[in-house]
Every structure is written in structure tokens, then in C-alpha cells.
Amino acid sequence: MIHLRNFSKIFCLFLLTVFLVFPNQAQALQSHAAPEGIYVHQLAHVFFLAALCYLFWDIRRSSFPSKGWRFLQLFCVFMIIWNIVAFTGHWIGGSIESSDIIYDSGYLTTRIAGPITTIKLLYYLTKLDHIFSVPAMFCLYLCLRSLYSATCKGEKQ
């Protein structure tokens, strides 16, 4: 008989495999109703940016010695950059026409229609915001792992 713990592991592995093999649509993009939705979203970026700046400053001011706190500072830096890039991308997105973007068969095959202008190129570059968010999440993971292992060892933070 399969135990519940083994069943949940097998089920999670099955779901992960299904989502990786048949990704159809991730539905990760949220469109906002004009104009209130984008205003609220942009304000959320500003407040998140301010909170990250304060957290970064407070960690530096407190001068915590462990490497877990340095990873948290790196997380803050990457997420600050991500917020700036995402805010800029949303702002520039208002200048892009729907005909400027060509959707062939999904998100991964999307192209910019020519002629390529500075605005279109900036819009494209801001859509690469995962270049900052993925390392930020990895730094957060390293921070949590470091702080957890230091706590288990009974070290002073």
C-alpha cells in the first residue's frame, strides 16, 4: 500500500512533469483594465521599491555579520533593479501599439514588428525582467538556507 507521503511526492512529480511537457499557456501575465488597473499596479511597484530600499538600508545600518544577510542584500539589489525595469516596461507599454508586436503561435515566438525604434527596443528589453528576478529569488533562497543552517548550529546572527 502506498503511504500518503509517497503518494504526495509521486503526485507532485507527476504534476511537474505534466506542466513541463505540456506548457500550453502559463497565464502568468495579468492585463489591467484601463486606466485604474495600471495605476494601482505601478503604485505597487513604487511601494515595493521603497520597501526594498528601506530593507537594504536597514540591513547595512545594522551590519549583520553572517553571509545570509549579505545574500538578503543582494536579493534587495536585484529586486530593486527588477522593479525599475518592470515599472519602465509598463510605462513604455502604453506607447506600444498592438500592431507593433507579432504573436505567431504563442508567447515564446513573439517578435517586434519593424521598423525597430528606440521605444520598441526598450519595451523588448524591459520584457526580459526575469534576468533580474530569477537571480533575486536564488539569492533569497541562499539567504534563507544560510540563516536556517546558522540557526540550527546555534551561531549568533
Q: Is residue 27 part of a domain?
A: no
What domain range includes position 115? Answer: 35-153
Q: Is residue 6 part of a domain?
A: no
Number of neighbours of residue 145 by Cβ within 10 angstroms:
12
94, amino acid identity = G
Average the pLDDT over each of 63-72, 82-91, 98-107 and give the range with the smallest value: 98-107
The 3-class SS string of 63-123 reads: CCCCHHHHHHHHHHHHHHHHHHHHHHHHHHHCCCCHHHEECCCCHHHCEECCCCCHHHHHH
Q: Is residue 18 part of a domain?
A: no
Q: Is residue 52 part of a domain?
A: yes
Q: Using 50, 70 and 90 to split pLDDT, how confident is the model at 88?
A: very high
Whether the per-residue pLDDT at 138 is higher than 80: the answer is yes
Our count of domains for the chain comes to 1
Q: Using 50, 70 and 90 to split pLDDT, how confident is the model at 144?
A: very high
Q: What is the mean pLDDT of the chain?
A: 84
pTM of the predicted model, to two decimals? 0.72
Whether the per-residue pLDDT at 32 is higher than 90: the answer is no
Number of neighbours of residue 82 by Cβ within 10 angstroms:
22
